[in-house]
Chains A and B, each alone.
Chain A
Amino acid sequence: MSIIETRDLVRDFKRTRAVDHLTLAVEPGEAVGYIGANGAGKSTTIKMLTGILKPTSGTVRTCGIDPMRDRIGVARRVGVVFGQRSQLWWDLPLRESFGILAAIHRLDPAAAAARTDRLVEQLEMGPQLGTPVRSLSLGQRMRAEIAAALLHTPELLILDEPTIGLDVLSKQRLREFLVAERRERGTTLLLTTHDMGDIERLCDRVLVVDHGRLAFDGTLPGLAATVGAQRMLVIDLAEPSLDLTGVPNTTLVESESGGLRQRLAFDAEATTAAAVLAHVSARHGVRDLTIEEPDIEDVVRRIYAASGRG
Chain B
Amino acid sequence: MADRRLDLAVRLRPYRVLLASRAHAQMQYRTSFVTDILGTVGVGLAEFAEVWVIFHNVDVLGGLDFTAALLVFALSNLAFSLADMFVGHLDQLPRYIRAGQVDAFYVRPLPLLAQLMTSDLSLRRVGRLSVALVALIVALTTADISWSTATVALILLTIVSGTAIFSALFTTAGGLQFFLVDGAEFTNAFTYGGQYAAQQSQQIFPDPLRIFWTFVIPTAFVAYLPAVAILDLPGDPLAPTWLAWCTPLAAALAWALAGLCWRSGTRHYQGAGG
Chain A residues with a Cβ under 8 A of chain B: 13, 43-44, 47, 50-54, 71-73, 75-76, 78, 80, 82, 84-87, 89, 91-92, 96, 99-101, 103-106
CB-contact partner of B17 in A43, A52, A99, under 8 A:
A99
B270: Cβ under 8 A from any A Cβ: yes
CB-contact partner of B104 in A73, A85, A99, under 8 A:
A85
Cβ contact within 8 Å between B110 and A84: no
Quick one: given A47-B271, A103-B14, are A92 and B25 in contact (CB under 8 Å)?
yes
Residues of chain B contacted by A99 (CB below 8 angstroms): 17
Cβ contact within 8 Å between B25 and A91: yes
Residues of chain B contacted by A53 (CB below 8 angstroms): 269-271
CB-contact partner of B13 in A54, A84, A106, under 8 A:
A106
B32 CB to nearest A CB, Å:
12
A193 CB to nearest B CB, Å:
15
B274: Cβ under 8 A from any A Cβ: yes
Cβ contact within 8 Å between A13 and B14: no
Report the interface size class on chain B.
20 to 34
Number of A-B contacts (CB under 8 A): 77
Cβ contact within 8 Å between B274 and A43: yes
Contact pattern, B 1-18, Cβ under 8 Å of A = 1, otherwise 0: 000000000100110011
Q: Would you give 19 A-B contacts (Cβ < 8 Å), ordered by A? A: A47-B103, A52-B103, A52-B107, A72-B109, A72-B110, A78-B107, A80-B107, A85-B100, A86-B100, A87-B104, A91-B28, A92-B24, A92-B25, A96-B21, A100-B21, A101-B108, A103-B17, A104-B108, A104-B109
Cβ contact within 8 Å between B14 and A82: no
Residues of chain B contacted by A86 (CB below 8 angstroms): 100, 104
Give the docked Cα–Cα distance between A82 and B273 (Å): 11
Give the docked Cα–Cα distance between A63 and B112 (Å): 21
Contact pattern, B 107-119, Cβ under 8 Å of A = 1, otherwise 0: 1111100000000
Give the docked Cα–Cα distance between A13 and B25 (Å): 38
B267: Cβ under 8 A from any A Cβ: yes
Residues of chain B contacted by A47 (CB below 8 angstroms): 103, 271
Residues of chain A contacted by B110 (CB below 8 angstroms): 72, 104
Give the docked Cα–Cα distance between A106 and B7 (Å): 13
B240 CB to nearest A CB, Å:
45
Cβ contact within 8 Å between A50 and B270: no
CB-contact partner of A82 in B18, B24, B100, under 8 A:
B100
CB-contact partner of A84 in B14, B24, B100, B107, under 8 A:
B100
Quick one: given A105-B109, A106-B14, are A85 and B21 in contact (CB under 8 Å)?
no
Cβ contact within 8 Å between B21 and A50: no
Cβ contact within 8 Å between B18 and A51: no
Q: Which 6 A-B pairs have the closest CB atoms?
A: A85-B100, A103-B17, A75-B109, A87-B104, A52-B106, A91-B25
Cβ contact within 8 Å between B106 and A103: no
B138: Cβ under 8 A from any A Cβ: no
Cβ contact within 8 Å between A104 and B106: no
Cβ contact within 8 Å between A71 and B25: no
B46: Cβ under 8 A from any A Cβ: no
Cβ contact within 8 Å between A72 and B269: no
Residues of chain B contacted by A78 (CB below 8 angstroms): 107
Q: Which residue of chain B is the closest to A158 with respect to CB atoms? A: B107
Quick one: given A44-B271, A72-B110, A104-B110, are A92 and B21 in contact (CB under 8 Å)?
yes
Quick one: given A44-B271, A47-B271, A76-B109, are A89 and B25 in contact (CB under 8 Å)?
yes
A144 CB to nearest B CB, Å:
14
